[in-house]
Chain A
Amino acid sequence: GQNIDQPTEMTATEGAIVQINCTYQTSGFNGLFWYQQHAGEAPTFLSYNVLDGLEEKGRFSSFLSRSKGYSYLLLKELQMKDSASYLCAVRDARAGNNRKLIWGLGTSLAVNP
């Protein structure tokens, strides 16, 4: 089956570091995406991983382990504006499906002063 798991909610303090985990079980794998979605707005692309390892992009980093079906998004130097939902999505690699994404339900992050 196809399944993506993320924690529903997380809370962190301004200036701190937070790690949001995502585990997946899919029939095929061809890349993992992280998106940020502020309340009432559209998802916006944050990062893409297709090979194992860490991808760093400013205050945000994303890690992938394909053998463990695991990814995390690391947010450093948290700011109030980072309060949002973070969506994990896996690209389905099955024939005919390789442009579709399987979406997690998202992790709602609250950053407190």
Chain B
Amino acid sequence: DAEITQSPRHKITETGRQVTLACHQTWNHNNMFWYRQDLGHGLRLIHYSYGVQDTNKGEVSDGYSVSRSNTEDLPLTLESAASSQTSVYFCASSEAAGTDTQYFGPGTRLTVL
């Protein structure tokens, strides 16, 4: 069955370290999104991509970067982790056709100490 996976599921890191969160989908979806979810803020868009080699900034992109070298993967990199980036991170993908419904990965809980 097609799916969307994230790794790691849990990560603890230290301030200043570079961290990369992986997202992999097997639906062959063109669109992929990264969100963070924090109490009181709901889901906030970090970066998104509409296809290979396409990346765009979302509303909270500072301190994060993404790259899209193939259809299946959109890794999210925290260049220099900060405590304010402690959060739950969700990756999502959509087909860019029909209802264009976004389907979410299981999430990564990141703690920056």
Physical interaction between A and B:
yes
Which of A14-22, A56-64, A71-79, A103-111 is found at the contact surface with chain B?
A: A103-111
Per the CB 8 Å criterion, the residue count for chain A at the interface is 19
Whether B42 pairs with A103 at a CB distance below 8 angstroms is yes
Name B48's contact: one of A50, A89, A100, A106 (CB within 8 Å). A100
CB distance from B5 to the nearest CB of A (A): 11
Q: Which residues of A are at the interface with B, using a C-beta cutoff of 8 A? A: 31, 33, 41-45, 48, 50, 87, 89, 91, 99-101, 103-106
Whether B40 pairs with A91 at a CB distance below 8 angstroms is no
- CB-based nearest B residue for A33: B101
Task: Name 8 extra pairs, CB < 8 A, besides A48-B99, A48-B101.
Answer: A42-B107, A45-B103, A91-B100, A99-B48, A99-B50, A103-B42, A103-B44, A105-B41
